[in-house]
Structure formats: C-alpha cells, structure tokens
Amino acid sequence: MTSASKKIRLILSLRQSGIIDTALLTAMERVPRELFVPEAFSDRAYEDTALPIGHGQTVSRPRIVAQMIEALDVDDRVKVLEIGTGSGYQTAILSHLCRRVYSIERHRELLRGAEQRFTALGRRNITTRAGDGWRGWPEQAPFTHIIVCAAAPEIPPILSGQLAVGGVLVIPVGDERHEQRILRVTRTEDGLDTHDCGPVRFLPLVEGMPVAPGASGQAESR
C-alpha cells in the first residue's frame, strides 16, 4: 500500500472515530506525517499510533492530535500557543488552521529539526522558541487558544493566566502512574470552566530545560 493510500485510510478512520471537523481533516491530509518521524518509522507514519522521535519523546497518535485540536476549536483568525513542538507534526497541522502558531520546545535539537521541516514545507506562520513550557510565552500573551502536548499534574496557573477571557486551553492532566484526562479549560470573567474530553496517556510536562552534556547538572541557558 502506498503512503497516499495509507493516509486516505487514516483520514477515513479518524472520521469514523468521530472527528467531523472538515477543515481539520483536510489539514491533516495536507501534512506529510512521514516527514515528522525518523526514517526507520516512515513506513508506519500513517498508523494511528505514537512513534518515537528521540530524546525520550514521541509524536502523538493522529487520533489524539485530531481530538485535541478539535477540542481547541480554532479558526484562521486566531493565534495559538503550543507547548511541546516535538517533531512539529501537530504544529504544522495547526499552521493550516490558525493565523499564527507560537510553539515552545525544551529540547533544542528537536526544535531545530522541526524548524527545518517548517521551512521545507513553506509554513511561514509559525514562530518557535526553545524554552520552559511551564512559563508559557508572556511576551505574546494573552492567547485565545493554548494547547499542551504533555501531561501536567494540575492546570498550570501561569498558562491559564495567559488565556484571554473566553480563551480555551486544551491540556492532558494527571500523572504517569494514574489516569490522565484531556481537559478543555475555558477562561471566564469568574475563573475557569473545565470539560473532560476523555482519557489519554502522555509523557509528563517537565519544568526547566534539559541538562546540557558536560554541564555538571546545570540547566541549559534559555
């Protein structure tokens, strides 16, 4: 089966699983997932499964990516903050749906690879930085939409504080030993309203930056 056939089969399976946003499915069809996974896994790019991308990280399974973006409910007028660029797969999809994507990744090598892919694909509405996702991107706040690609033990106050009133945060909440849930959090004049979008399994959202080789336990500078 060709990559094109596998992609069509994946899109059909996403639709059958309940993903009905046509713009989202079109964006996923336009993004070549095989470019966002290591070459050794390129033949599995259109399986609905998470795949390793190095540094102990994975690219999420397409169904979870679709579910979280659909919950985010974006359009081409908004700017989105993404925590966890990874290989850039979800970022690229968002770039087809939003006015601008601001994406943070703590692993500089992963970020460099993602930036090269964005350039190769001509995605010019993505702004990236290497940094601590727990801190968000205060210089660009407030955001109407924030999506987090790692699980936090609770809703991070700094991130919810960077939401505009009426803004939406989609985030997995829970730890690795217990059940995690995707939460859709809406900021209101009075606080936060949360909606449970179902179970999920993500790596933890880690504070700080990775330790640079030979740095004797000192974190990398930002």
Q: What is the CATH number of the domain that holds 150?
A: 3.40.50.150
How many domains, in total, are found in the chain? 1
Whether 90 is covered by a domain: the verdict is yes
Residue 30: per-residue pLDDT: 97
Q: Where is pLDDT greater, at 215 or 62?
A: 62
Residue 28 predicted with pLDDT over 90: yes
pLDDT value of position 209: 86
CB 183 within 8 A of CB 167: no
Which residue's structure tokens are 């660009």?
A: 140
Out of 31-40, 97-106, 206-215, pick the least confident. 206-215
Residue numbers of the domain that contains 95: 3-200
Is 210 inside a domain boundary? Answer: no
Q: Domain for residue 214, yes or no?
A: no
φ/ψ bin of 18: left (φ > 0), alpha (ψ from -120 to 50), beta (otherwise): left
pLDDT above 60 (res 131): yes
Kindly indicate the confidence band of residue 177, based on its pLDDT and cuts at 50, 70 and 90: confident
137 occurs within a structural domain = yes
In a domain, 95, yes or no: yes
Which two tokens mark 96? 């087809």
Mean pLDDT of 138-148: 97
Catalytic residues: 60
Residue 218 resides in a domain:
no
Confidence of residue 178 (pLDDT cuts 50, 70, 90): confident
pLDDT in tens, 106-124: 999 999 999 999 999 999 9
Q: How confident is the model at residue 216 (pLDDT cuts 50, 70, 90)?
A: very low
What is the DSSP pairing of strand 143-148 with strand 79-83?
A: parallel
Indicate whether 27 belongs to any domain.
yes
Give me the mean pLDDT over the 123-130 stretch.
Answer: 98
Per-residue model confidence (pLDDT) at position 156:
97
The verdict on residue 117 lying in a domain is yes
Contact present, 132 and 209 (Cβ < 8 Å): yes
Question: In the predicted model, what is the mean pLDDT of residues 148-174?
Answer: 97
DSSP at 61: P
Q: What is the mean pLDDT of the segment spanning 25-52?
A: 97
